[in-house]
Amino acid sequence: MNNIGVLMTCPMSEYLENQLENRFNLFKLWNHSAPKPDFLKTHSSSIKAVVGNTKIGADANMIDSLPNLEIVASYSVGLDKIDLGKCKEKGIKVTNTPDVLTDDVADLGIGLALAVLRKICVCDRFVRSGNWINGDFALASKFSGKSVGIIGLGRIGSAIAKRAEAFKCFISYHSRSKKPNTNYKYYSNIVDLAADCQILFVACALTEETHHIINRKVIDALGPKGILINIGRGAHVDEPELVSALLEGRLGGAGLDVYENEPNVPEQLFSLENIVLVPHVGSDTEETSKAMADLVISNLEAHFKCKPLLTPVL
C-alpha cells in the first residue's frame, strides 16, 4: 500500500503521522508552500484517501479537487468538517473514531463541572499567589446531588449520565426522540430542560438543527445559578449571548472545551472567575490518541484490502 496516496489535512498526532508514513504515500497539506488549490491540483491523481479532524476535514471543494478520492477517515468522532452529502453523492466512504474517546470526553465534562462549582482553578491561583496567609478561601458549591440536564444522550451523553449518577445527581435529557431502556426524564423542549436543571451538558452532534441550540432563551432558562458545560462543538452555543449572560450575571458559570472560532476565544471571558476554559482537549490523552490513530489506520487498511470498515459512517 506504499503507493497509495493519503492526504493528512493538518498536524494531529505524531504517532498517526508516523504510522501513515510507514504504510502509505503520505502528503502533509500544511508542509507545502503552494496554495491549497494548486497543491490539490498537482497531486489530485495520486490521493485516494483523506485523513482529517475537527479542525480541517474534507469540504466540497477538496472533495471535488480529488477525482480519485475513495475514503475520508476522520481522526475524531465529529463529522461537521466533512461534507457528507458530497461524499454520499460521489460514493466516497467515511469513517470516524467513536467509542475510543467516549470515556475521556465524559471525564472532562464531569471535571469541568467540578472545577466550576468547586472553584478549583480559582483555588489554585489563591494558593499560588500567597493569599491563603491572609485568610481562608470563600465557600464554593457542591456537585453531588445536583440536577443534571444532558443535551444528546448518545455515547458521550450516556457516559456523562453514568458518571453523574455516581454523584447522586438527578438526570434528565433532551434528544431527537425519547430513548428506550432508560429511567432518565426526557424533555422534548430544551428550554424546559434548562429551566429544570442546575447543570446543563452539551453532548450532541453538531448539525444544522443543533447549531446555536444554546441560545438566549436556553441560557436565561438555566439562570443565574445554572452552569453550562460544553464538550460538544463551539457552534452549539451562541457565543456572544453566552458572553453577555456571563458578564451580566444571567448565567451562574460555564465550563468550556470548545469555542465558535477556535483557537480564538472571547477575551471578555479571561477575567471571569466563574468559568473554566480548556483548549479543546476532550479526547487528548496519550492512551486515547493512540487508540484513535490505530482506528484510523485500521479503517484505511480495511478499505484498501477490500474488507469491511470498522467504524463506517458512509
- Catalytic positions, written as ranges: 233, 262, 280
Q: How far apart are CA 126 and CA 137, in angstroms?
A: 8
Query: Would you say 48 and 25 are in contact if contact means Cβ atoms under 8 Å apart?
Result: no
Q: How far apart are CA 230 and CA 145, in angstroms?
A: 20
Angle at 139 between CA 147 and CA 259, to 5 degrees: 55
DSSP letter, residue 18 = H
Query: Would you say 94 and 84 are in contact if contact means Cβ atoms under 8 Å apart?
Result: yes
Q: How far is CA 42 from CA 32, 45, 65, 66, 155, in A?
A: 12, 8, 10, 10, 40
Q: How far from the centroid of its chain's Cα atoms is residue 124's Cα?
A: 26
Describe the strand order of the beta sheet including 170-174 as a list of residue ranges: 185-186, 170-174, 147-151, 199-202, 227-230, 253-256, 275-277
Residues linked to residue 94 through DSSP beta bridges, in sequence order: 72
Query: Would you say 110 and 161 are in contact if contact means Cβ atoms under 8 Å apart?
Result: no
DSSP letter, residue 236 = G
Cis preceding-peptide flag for 67 (omega within 30 of 0): no
For the chain, the first-to-last Cα distance in angstroms comes to: 22
Tell me the three cell numbers of residue 172: 434528565
